[in-house]
Amino acid sequence: MERPRCDVVVVGGGVIGLASAWRAAREGLAVVLVDPEPGRGASWAAAGMLAPVTEVHYGEEALLALNLASARSWPGFAAEVEEESGLPVSYRRTGTLLVAADEGDRAWAAELHRFQAGLGLEVEWLTGREARALEPALAPGVRAGLWAPGDHQVHNRELVGALLAAGRAREVVHLPLRVSSVETSGGAVSGVGLGDGTTIDCGAVVLAAGCRSGELAGVPAGVLPPVRPVKGQILRLRGPADRPLLSRTVRGVVQGQSVYLVPRADGSLVIGATVEEAGFDLTVTAGAVYGLLRDAQRVVPGVSELVLEESLAGLRPGSPDNGPLVGPSGLPGLVLATGHYRNGILLTPLTAEAVAATLAGREVPGELAGFGPDRFPVLAC
């Protein structure tokens, strides 16, 4: 019997894998995407913030440039996904307001503002009163705010559904299985082995398995990406859709801890997130739920009245320098698209474009040039 064959197998159906498969199919390639539960990992537990300015970190200026470039590509990307899928992704241009809970947080925010201004980012300093004028639900004690009018959001769960549909419209085949191994022939990718014992022949494999991308059999150790799970716990609450508590994303800094509150158009509110190195652990802990509610209520007291509908944990794919690993790898035919850490949703458009370009034999976009999979030294085992 002839073995099934396609051009590209995408390993992993988070937003990175889904978007990469869709973009590859638009290049005319025959694509199979393999994931037992597409979109139900970190993509599902995300909040959908597209916030390079308020999330800028010291020492990550190269990543900032990449994030800004991907943020600029979001309006066009969202429009294309919606058009090809016929489904909404709720890309909302509502900006992000960072607020400081106490005097120490105010000092931290002022330092961040100097850093942002030095980078030429569009961000405005607000007094507590000015911040409350923008968002009346803010606590009276809020000391100051940073208004980033260009830090937007997308509904990450809608995005999953729309990317699945957009892929199907381009004849991407979704297999609800695990990829158990990559097969090689003459030193290059020749296929994959699946969890049900079958195989698929292919000329290329896109490894987009998030925090599990570092453990695929058949890939040489030096080629496997150095990713690790970074657990994040989030809450999803619900208030009245006709009287939303917030009209834009609020990021609170509370005694040095960060908490975000992302309002959806339907009245729900996503609150996140913890950052924990706890291995492949997806449990929701009492301490995390408590800490998120404490800090969220500190900056937006009305949160206490909302209905707590869901508590969930996800595993971000962390990398050594917090930047993604995107592009061709040391194994011919294996393309990496992983390690996006906290920026997976934000970096989906540029990553998918880079994967499609690599598969089509073109160069990756310049913004991703510094984020090739070969930038980390191989550790001897």
Binding site for a second copy (CB under 8 A): 235, 237, 283-287, 289-290, 293-294, 296-297, 303-308, 311
Q: Check if the beta carbon of residue 187 is closer than 8 Å to that of residue 194.
A: no
State the nearest-atom distance from the C-beta of 281 to a second copy, in Å: 10
Q: Is 24 helix (H, G, I), strand (E, B) or coil?
A: helix
Q: Provide the minimum distance between the beta carbon of 19 and a second copy in the complex, in angstroms, as a whole number.
A: 33
Q: Classify strands 96-100 and 249-254 as parallel, antiparallel or unpaired.
A: parallel
Least gap, CB of 313 to a second copy (angstroms): 10
Q: HSE on the CB side for 130, CA within 13 Å?
A: 11
Q: What is the DSSP letter of 315?
A: E
Residues 6+ apart with CB under 8 A from 328: 334, 335, 336, 358, 372, 373
Q: Which is nearer to a second copy, 209 or 303 (CB)?
A: 303
Cα distance from N-terminal residue to C-terminal residue, the chain: 40
Please state whether beta strands 5-11 and 199-207 pair in parallel, antiparallel, or not at all (unpaired). parallel
Decide whether 179 or 250 has the Cβ nearer to a second copy: 250
Peptide linkage before 273 cis (omega within 30 of 0): yes
Nearer to a second copy, 285 or 322 (CB): 285
Residue whose CB is less far from a second copy, 107 or 308: 308
Q: Read off the tokens for 53.
A: 């300015």
Tokens read off for 183: 């097969």
101: cis peptide before it, omega within 30°? Answer: no
Distance CA 355, CA 319 (A): 18
Q: What is the DSSP string of 238-272?
A: E--TTS-S-SSEEEEEETTEEEEEEE-TTSEEEEE
Q: Is the dihedral of CA 284, 290, 293, 299 positive or negative?
A: negative
User: SS3 for 226?
Assistant: coil
Shortest separation between residue 35's beta carbon and a second copy, angstroms: 26
